[in-house]
Chains A and B, each alone.
Chain A
Amino acid sequence: GDSVTQMEGPVTLSEEAFLTINCTYTATGYPSLFWYVQYPGEGLQLLLKATKADDKGSNKGFEATYRKETTSFHLEKGSVQVSDSAVYFCALSDRGGTYKYIFGTGTRLKVLA
């Protein structure tokens, strides 16, 4: 079945450092891909998305490119801030009619001042 694999956390960075959180997927079709962010005690907020190969999603300085050839959707940010500390989830949505999401395990990011 479809699956999402994320890099293990936690990731600890200094402010203004470069961030990469790896995400790879396996899917039988052509899923849509998402990054969600979860702050402590809160629900999930959509960070960015991409619906087809080579699409680049971007928001708040974060970027991710849908790479079909490597089945990847890595999240990047050039300069992180303390306020970016959160848990980041990669997800795919099947297009087979059920609209289910499959989530990665989540990666906790901690940014130090």
Chain B
Amino acid sequence: GAVVSQHPSWVICKSGTSVKIECRSLDFQATTMFWYRQFPKQSLMLMATSNEGSKATYEQGVEKDKFLINHASLTLSTLTVTSAHPEDSSFYICSARDVTGTGDYEQYFGPGTRLTVT
């Protein structure tokens, strides 16, 4: 149980185009999903917290207009990188918290999406 998928697993796009990454909770409902960015050999940086039916909460320094997040349902959140540039190339990882969470505050992570902007 508690499986989170991401699609695509990797994507190459040209500079200036937009890319959408999907994060789905497959066997549970998630009112809260998180989007992280990971640079090579570095830790995860929380970009934003996505709440179903409301606007995402972005961490300081993350451009809201650059990284659009939509949490349209209890099983799907999307991250759209708009007008992508090479510096946006990174590994993007989402996680989800089970709405029936027992209180131990565990997040379930997706396998990640590698974005390369050329």
Contact B43 A89 (CB under 8 A): yes
Q: Chain B, interface size: which category?
A: 20 to 34
Chain A residues closer than 8 Å to B112, beta-carbon distance: 41-43
Let me know if A27 is at the binding interface, CB within 8 A.
Answer: no
Other-chain contact of B106, A42, A49, A89, A94 (Cβ < 8 Å)? A49
Which residues of A come within 8 Å of B, CB atoms? 32, 34, 36, 41-46, 49, 51, 89, 93-95, 98-101, 103-106, 108
Q: Give me 13 A-to-B residue pairs in the complex whose CB atoms sit less than 8 angstroms apart, sorted by A's number.
A: A43-B111, A46-B106, A51-B104, A89-B43, A89-B44, A93-B106, A98-B49, A99-B49, A99-B105, A99-B107, A100-B34, A101-B46, A101-B107
Which residues of B come within 8 Å of A, CB atoms? 6, 32, 34, 41-44, 46, 49, 93, 95, 97, 103-112, 114
